[in-house]
Every structure is written in structure tokens, then in C-alpha cells.
Amino acid sequence: MKHNPATYVPIIDSSNLPKAAPRLPASSARPDEPWYRYLTIDLIWYVLGYTLFHPWTSWVLVLCLRAQLTPYDAVEMKIVSAWALLMSAMGIFGIVSEKIAYGSPREVDLAEEVIVITGGVEGLGALLAETYGMRNANVAVLDTKKVGEDEAEEKGVVYYECDVSDVKQVEAAVAEIVENLGPPTILINNAGIVHSKSILESTAEEIEQTFRTNTLSHWTTLRTILPHMLRESRGTIVTVSSVLGSWGAANLSAYCASKAALLAMHQSLRAELAQNPDAADIKTILVTPGQMSTQMFADVKTPSNFLAPMLAPVDVAKEILRLIERGESGEVAVPLYSRYISVLGVLPIGVQALVRRWSGVDKAMTTSKKVTSEKK
């Protein structure tokens, strides 16, 4: 007797199958914390941004008062109308300001892009690489850490063992990328190391290594990859700096200085691209995150969970992905304080000293046991 394969369903005796206890994902295996630990100034600002400070919501209040037949000359109607006009004006000003600063977005089709990520084996870089790998984009990672062929194939990422602080290694790796995948059109400069030592304890070799990896590697990758973008007349360059580049911290002098140099380099890059007619569709993104829960600062306790919450790499990655895929230039500054950290520099020096003391930024590294460098 023949069975129709379209209708035949085999019967399995489930009584003989082994029983397995349900297991939750590892991400849920974290200690319970009181509710207020999840309350941060960023959460409050996010909620206000979509309610009280949102133009559409502001006009809804006006409509609600009119639905109650509130006269136009009533005090409450004047207040909510003025507030709605102010929020609308601020929203329009923000749109116009970004248009003037960054211009029109470029078209991005991931199938036609070649993405190069430095330091993409762990941390933020790994999250970006694996996200694009799952979406079948052309992703190449430059890192000193090795990744097996099976793991690379599973993630959909091509890994090149490369020390980005070495000019010849970068040039050789990029030449392979061009041959295998095509000209790079998206560059995410993410590689970084840290030596958590004081100035007196740091050796000349450690300081040089920090600057070669955190700073000089950006020049190397730009000088190697930017010509391909200019020939393609399109591209996106992501510079991953740090909020500490604007503020500094004790026992992190080399790291902070190397990240501060990237802020000036990014501005110079934008100025040079603006003068090049072939760079009209080359976008730039500056990333200045606060403390992330990566291996680099894994054992450092944030001074204030309310004002300066610890960031998960996904919090930063989603903002980078949003700008890249919209084809826009911009800045990714999270958490909230990192957007306004530069304002502290214009305050009186005594106020700056008090802010540093209250923030605990100069004591944060005293809790760290790191004495050696780690990749992100």
C-alpha cells in the first residue's frame, strides 16, 4: 500500500520522548532589583518627549478644551495654545537645523552596501556586525581576535584577522574586501582599548598602543576606504568616540585623550567632505556614548544610576542602525547627559569642580580591577 506524501502524517509515541524542563533565556537570569532602579532621567525625558513636549500632543490639549466649548479668550486656552505653538516652533526649528547641518539623506539599499566594522568580534561592534549579518548584508569585520569559519558562516559575517593600528595590515585587509565583497561604502570605526592606570603608572608602550588603536586607526581606515566611497559617490562613516572625550576622568588619561582627538577629527572630516563635490552623499555619524555594559568597563560601577545609567550595547546600536539605514548624518549621544556634557565647559571653574565631585566620575575607576587592556 502506498501513502500519499501530501496527506501522510507519521504517528510518534510521545510517551518515550525524554522530558526536558523549560529554560528561560540567559538574559532573564539577572537579580531582581527594586522598581526605582529602573527609573532614570532618560526614561522620564523619553516619556515627556512623547507627551508634554510633543507638538501633536500639545495640540490635542487645545482640541480637548475646544471640545468642552472652552472660549478662545479663556486663560487656560491661551496657555495651552501658547504651549502648542512653542512646541511646534521648536520642532520645526530642529528639522530645519538638521537640514542645514546635514543636508538631504542618501538612499541606502543594504544589498548594495559593503559594511566594514573595526573591533567587531565583541561588544558594540559584534552586535552591529551580527545584526547586519542576519539581514544578509555584506559585512566585513577587522579585529585581532580569531573567529572560526563555522561561527562566521553562521553569523553571516566575513572576519579578517587584522590589527587596525598597523597600516599595512589594514591596507591588505581592505584590498581583500574590495576583491571579495566590493568597494566599502559603510565604515564603522569602533575598535578600542583601555588601560585603567594613572598617568604615572602608565608606560610609554601602553600610551602609544592606546593612541594607535583608538585614534590613529581611524586615520588609517579613512585614508584607505574613503577613496572607494568617493569613487562610488556614496557612503557613511561612523566614528565611535566616548562621552569621556569631552570630560575626562582620573586613571583614564590615555583613553580620554585618544577619544577627545576623535571629536576634533570628526569635525575636520565633515569640513573636508563639505568642500568636496564628490562627497555630497557621504554621511558622517558621531557616537559619544556613556558607560556601556561591555567587557571594557565590565567591573566599573556607574556613579549614579538615575543620572548616568549603564547602557546596554543594544541601546547604542539601534540608534546607529537607525541613522545608517535612513541615510542620514547625525550624532548618537546616549544617555541624556552625554548630549549636554560639553555645556559644563562654559560654567565657572568652581561650579565645574563641584559637578565633578558630585558626579563621582573621578572615583569610578577606583572600583575597577583592570590593569590590562581589553578590546571592546
Helices vs strands, H then E, count in the chain:
13, 7
Is the pLDDT confidence value at 374 over 50?
Answer: no
Phi, psi for residue 221 in degrees, rounded to 5:
-65, -40
Q: Domain coordinates of the chain in residue numbers?
A: 39-102, 110-367
Instruction: Please report, rounded to a whole number, the percentage of residues in the chain having pLDDT higher than 70.
Output: 88
Please compute the mean of the pLDDT values over residues 295-319 and round it to a whole number: 82
CATH superfamily of 110-367: NAD(P)-binding Rossmann-like Domain (3.40.50.720)
Instruction: Please give the average per-residue pLDDT across 152-176, as a whole number.
Output: 95
pLDDT digits (tens, 9 = 90+) for 221-236: 999 999 999 999 999 9
* pLDDT score, position 26: 45
Buried b (16+ CB within 10 A) or exposed e, 271-305: eebeeeeebebbbbbbbbbbbbbbebbeebebbee
Nearest to 238 by CA among 83, 129, 85, 133: 129
Q: What is the mean pLDDT of residues 20-47?
A: 66
The per-residue pLDDT for range 343-354, each reduced to its tens digit, is 888 889 998 888
Residue 48 has a CB neighbour count (10 Å cut-off) of: 12
Give pLDDT tens digits for 283-302: 999 999 988 887 777 667 77
Q: Which residue type occupies 89?
A: A
Residue 106 in this model has a pLDDT that exceeds 60: yes
Q: What is the pLDDT of residues 250-282, one digit of tens each?
A: 999 999 999 999 999 999 999 999 999 999 999
Which residue would you say has higher pLDDT here, 140 or 7? 140
pLDDT value of residue 341: 87
**Structure confidence at residue 85 (pLDDT):** 97
Mean pLDDT of the chain: 87
